[in-house]
Amino acid sequence: MSALEEIRSRFQNDHFATDATGVIIDVAEPGKAVCSLTLEEKHMNENHVPMGGAIFTLADIACAVAANGYSEKKTVSQHASITFLSPAKGARLIAEASCLRAGRTTALYEVDVKDELGTYVAHATINGYVIG
C-alpha cells in the first residue's frame, strides 16, 4: 500500500469530511496536502453556491492531513479563520494546505481554496496545538 493510500485509509475515520461531505485526499506530503470536493446539490446554499460550511470542512480536512499525515504527534485545531473571497464558478473545489511554522507545541497552516477554473474561493489560517 502506498503512503497516500495509507493516509486515505486513516482519514476515512473522519466520517463527516469523507462520508457526509465527500472530500478526497489527492496529495499528502509532510506539511502539505491537497484535497478536493466535487460539488453536489447537498453542498449548495439557497443562492446555489457552495455553503460556507462545506468550504470550511474542505479547508479543515486539508489542514488535518498536512499536519497529521506524516507525523507521529497529533495536531488539533486551536483557532481557525476563513475568509470567503468569491463564489465558486466551477464544479469542483480544491484546497491546498501548507505549514507555515511547526513548533514544539503550536503550528500555523494556511489553506487556499479554489475551484477547477482557478476562481479563488477562500483563504484560511489555522493554528494547531500539538499533543502527544
- Burial of residue 108 (number of CB atoms within 10 Å: 0-12, 13-18, 19+): middle
pTM of structure = 0.96
DSSP 3-state of 39: coil
Band the pLDDT of 13: cuts 50, 70, 90. very high
Q: Write down the pLDDT at residue 1.
A: 80
Band the pLDDT of 132: cuts 50, 70, 90. confident
Q: Is the pLDDT confidence value at 107 over 80?
A: yes
Average pLDDT over residues 3-30: 95
CATH superfamily of 3-131: Hotdog Thioesterase (3.10.129.10)
E strand or H helix at 7, and its extent?
helix 3-11
